[in-house]
Chains A and B, each alone.
Chain A
Amino acid sequence: MALSTMDIYTQAILSTAALIGLTSFLMLGQSRLLRMIFVFGLQGLLLTITTVLVAYSTDNHHLYISAGLTLALKVVFIPWMLRREVITMNMHRDVQALTNKTTIMLGGASLMVFSYYVLHPIVHTTTAVMLNALAVSLSVVLLGMLLMIAHRQAIAHVVGFMSIENGLFFAAIVATNGMPMVVELGVAFDVLVAAVLFGIFFLHIRTSIDSLDVDLLNRLHEVDK
């Protein structure tokens, strides 16, 4: 079906879905940490816009609270915390080259196709918007994982972790118009605590291995050596 035959709301949701997918790819291929954090903030902003759109069109007031929480946590607090960490660690000048960028980007693309494939069985029970929204959010989750695998910096792992949360949140907002309030508050609380814990961990890792390169965390083995 043609995009122009849909109503404005559907078109807007589809566009934000596409943009959120795009930000995931941008983060995946990014070799500078500060830019990665910036794109992550952008993804949070897109998520906030989506939430406000859904809240407005369904007239669901508690979604405005979710939008506020997303804005505060994912656009302001977490990027600010990560940015500060990068600058204190003096890592903003490092260019961390990905060893096999082409493979990783191709892997990312296949993950996106895979997400559509996985969710294809539900296509006849739902609209095209839902399928796209769910598939994009699943691929954001998977791309977040790939990001964590591809990068060695603890900061990049946190960005990956939080962008997985973004993907899940997008699914909850678009596919189901938001989870019940108590669950959403609980999830936001967990994200906040996780962000604070990550901050504490950076301190610990730094004092223990004097770097934030998690490849150096390699003392424990599955079997004795």
Chain B
Amino acid sequence: MIAAYFLLSIPLFGIIFFAFAGHKADTGLINIRLNAVSLLATLWLAVNVLNGGTLLSAQKAFLVDPFNVYLIVLTAFVGLTTSIFSSPYMAHEKELGKLNDARLKLYYSMYQGFMLAMYLVLTTNNIGVMWVAMEGATLATVLLVSLYRTPESIEAAWKYFILCGVGIAQALFGTILLYYAAVQIGDLGDSALLWSVLFEHADQLNPEILEIAFVFLLIGYGTKIGLVPLHNWLPDAHSEGPTPMSAILSGLLLNDALYAVVRNKMLVDGATHSLIAGHLMMGFGLLSFLVAVLFLHRQKDIKRLFSYSSIEHMGLMTFAFGIGGPMATFAALLHMTVHSLTKSAIFVTVGHAAQLAGTQNMSKIRGLIKTQPRIGWGLLIGTVAIAGFPPFGVFTSEFLVLLATMHSYPWLTPLLLLGIGIAFAGLFRHIQPMVYGDRPEGQMPVKANLLPVMIHLALVLWLGLAIPGFLADWFSEATVLISGSAPL
């Protein structure tokens, strides 16, 4: 458990250090190093879980089990690769005169603040603290969305702040109701908000209160997941903030909000023994999926395009967790991993492409492969992966979701297939003219580090071809924990 404390102390140190040290030439490098140390700490934690199973800290304040351990490693990994991308990217933005030292200081300090909030959401065993950390993640990122101080970015940040703030307040009401139900059992005392304690006593919780609580929890955290119709903030915040923010918002924040919903769903399912929570998630998930794929066609801004794609995939995951069977749960866990890896890789590439073309407007980005082949191919392969082509990992998980749907709710399969088809068309009608074609006059290659992209896409390819044994074991154990039976 020392690894977990160590992990939490690194970003805490980072916030304070960056806030006081100010921005210097090597701040980006220090940020990379801090994230690298965090990744090592998470690997240490993972080895502990691999050898000793679920870890629970002394006062039961922290819990690391197979469900969250891989998300913790994933968070640290995406945090590291994004920081590798962000260092030259932000330096370039400063050269362009869009940012100054004070804002870069804020950026790096809040980058670590966001990472701290994410680690805390994942490791804490207290569902109240989970809420606090989730709100903390909003507060850390809201000033980063408006980092450029353009009227658009301030509007996006205001929307993000108000919508997510009000949304997540609903989750607090849900948490209070949950606590109210737990207090009624009696003799739990202050441990009545600890997830592991509640999970043991789940069948004693009052099912009627928990049903109401779940509605609030789903709406609350669902705002953060970007579920339709609560998704309005998401494309704005992604498109107006700096690109590294888009990568970590899409790759990490959305996943962790979904994680919070699933943790709470496990308690609710244990109490109600009905499918009501699952059906709610299926409904919201499917709606988000279908609405987002249609919106893909009508976008002009490249970052908005991919943020709608994020809504689509989060919808699919929510739907899969809602089905709730072992296969669907396994697929959703895998999809969380591969989507996070692919989408952050895409945002990194998109960031470079936008710097290259000097705009985020897709009709002005042209001839990427001719200008700078690595960016062009990176974007193309990333899009192929996210659209769900074999042999990438997204294909595997989407295929499993389809199989599970055919098994449990066969009449919903055509809708999913149709959605995947429309999404494919929506992505490629925009991407194809951008990557192929002639190089526009005066377009010059930019300094780009595409190592993070390659590593991410290689991992997604690997997960598509063969899931490593230990990871498959974690997925299986988490599936047993969530759905009650083993997959396959």
Q: List the interface of chain A (C-beta within 8 A of B).
A: 118-119, 121-122, 125, 130, 134, 137-138, 141, 144-145, 148, 154, 157, 161, 164-165, 167-168, 171-172, 175-177, 179-183, 186-187, 189-190, 193-194, 197-198, 200-201, 204-205, 208-209, 214, 217-220, 222-224
B154 lies within 8 A of A205 (CB): yes
Given A157-B162, A190-B136, A190-B139, A122–B208 Cβ distance below 8 Å? Answer: yes
Of B136, B179, B190, most A-chain CB atoms within 10 Å: B179
Given A176-B180, A208-B154, A197–B149 Cβ distance below 8 Å? Answer: no
A219 lies within 8 A of B166 (CB): no
**Contacting residues, chain A, for B158 (C-beta < 8 A):** 154, 201, 205, 214, 217
Chain A residue nearest in CB terms to B189: A180
CA distance A208 to B158 in the complex (A): 12
**Contacting residues, chain B, for A141 (C-beta < 8 A):** 169-170, 173
**Contacting residues, chain B, for A134 (C-beta < 8 A):** 177, 180
Given A183-B132, A209-B151, A224-B298, A194–B212 Cβ distance below 8 Å? Answer: no
CA distance A125 to B208 in the complex (A): 9
CA distance A94 to B176 in the complex (A): 39
B128 lies within 8 A of A122 (CB): no
Least distance between B218 CB and chain A CB atoms (Å): 14
Check if B36 is an interface residue, CB within 8 A of chain A: no
Check if B99 is an interface residue, CB within 8 A of chain A: no
Interface size on B, residues (CB 8 A): 53
Interface of B is mostly: helix
Given A183-B132, A205-B154, A171–B295 Cβ distance below 8 Å? Answer: no
Which of A119, A148, A189, A190 makes the CB contact (< 8 A) with B212?
A: A119
Check if B312 is an interface residue, CB within 8 A of chain A: no
- List 16 extra interface pairs beyond A180-B192, A181-B190, A220-B159, CB under 8 A: A121-B212, A122-B206, A168-B172, A171-B176, A175-B180, A176-B179, A177-B183, A183-B131, A183-B132, A183-B193, A190-B135, A190-B139, A198-B161, A205-B158, A218-B155, A222-B232
A204 lies within 8 A of B179 (CB): no
B236 lies within 8 A of A220 (CB): yes
Chain A residue nearest in CB terms to B182: A176
B300 lies within 8 A of A171 (CB): no
Least distance between A206 CB and chain B CB atoms (Å): 10
Which of B165, B190, B239, B299 makes the CB contact (< 8 A) with A223?
A: B299
Chain B residue nearest in CB terms to A173: B176
For this complex, 7 residue pairs linking A to B, each with C-beta atoms less than 8 Å apart, are: A182-B129, A183-B128, A197-B143, A201-B158, A208-B154, A220-B155, A220-B236
Least distance between B8 CB and chain A CB atoms (Å): 14
B152 lies within 8 A of A219 (CB): yes
B176 lies within 8 A of A176 (CB): yes
A219 lies within 8 A of B155 (CB): yes
**Contacting residues, chain A, for B136 (C-beta < 8 A):** 190, 193
B132 lies within 8 A of A187 (CB): yes
Least distance between A210 CB and chain B CB atoms (Å): 10
Given A145-B166, A165-B169, A220-B156, A175–B128 Cβ distance below 8 Å? Answer: no
**Contacting residues, chain B, for A205 (C-beta < 8 A):** 154, 158
Given A197-B143, A217-B155, A217-B158, A204–B149 Cβ distance below 8 Å? Answer: yes
B206 lies within 8 A of A125 (CB): yes
Chain A residue nearest in CB terms to B192: A180
Of B135, B143, B235, B298, most A-chain CB atoms within 10 Å: B135
Least distance between B153 CB and chain A CB atoms (Å): 9
A179 lies within 8 A of B179 (CB): yes
CA distance A223 to B135 in the complex (A): 28
**Contacting residues, chain B, for A208 (C-beta < 8 A):** 149-151, 154
CA distance A223 to B42 in the complex (A): 40
B129 lies within 8 A of A176 (CB): no
**Contacting residues, chain B, for A181 (C-beta < 8 A):** 190
B173 lies within 8 A of A204 (CB): no
Least distance between B66 CB and chain A CB atoms (Å): 26
A201 lies within 8 A of B161 (CB): yes
**Contacting residues, chain B, for A137 (C-beta < 8 A):** 173
**Contacting residues, chain A, for B170 (C-beta < 8 A):** 141
